[in-house]
Structure 1
């Protein structure tokens, strides 16, 4: 997005509004990243949630909107509670509309013989791998190199409490 979109940052947009037409974009222009609330449809950037257009470096744009429930986005780091074991998959409550799936192979050093020790009620720290409105979310407890990087079961005690999303974003 060029200077014309930067002039729209911090302005209010409603669903259905078009921020930019991409038909005239040349291939030399920098790539852009569209976050939550924005979607490309028929070579146009379309607003899908009501809110304020935000921008951060590396050409990342998103709509900052007030919402009550967490909507998973790929790459988000989340805390969740294991609610159920179902064969090779754990169900983890991450605060969204449905629980996320966590494969037992999504832990560092896990294989068919060496399963992770996860019990119902354990607190897990992971990263959203799949977030799609048509599919169940999936989380993993390893990074792209196969290392845990601090993710996994949190056993050191502590408290987990819910708070409003606007408080988390500050």
Structure 2
């Protein structure tokens, strides 16, 4: 049994969207991975996509998209990576733009990479901005859109007061 929100899409597709820690890879997913054994530097953070999944093997990953372009994929330098639930990752990647990212983007300059595996990377020109963005994202999961916008406004005010 799985707990979560019942979702619907026309004409007659229903599914349960749950928020869980364990990620099950699917071909086409974008994920954040850490190099653990390779010719590359161990510990390097990569934004990759899942090419192929085989239950008896590790998934095949790539730093280029299906059209062989590396536009948004590859090594992520600097910044801060943290782990969240898979539900929060899906919420951040949802369309229209997630309220917390929309509100933060109107006030602050930052980069983010969100993996469907629950890993999130944030980078900005100042450490205080990275901290504010990461905290806002982590705190947004259980808040409504209006509550997310209010939280961001308060965090921005506190950031201005501390500088």
TM-score range, shorter chain: 0.3 to 0.5
Higher relative contact order (CA 8 A, sep 6+): 2
Instruction: Decide which structure has greater helix share.
Output: 2
Instruction: Decide which structure has greater strand share.
Output: 1
Please identify the structure whose Cα radius of gyration is greater.
1
Question: Please, what TM-score do these two structures have when normalized by structure 2?
Answer: 0.46
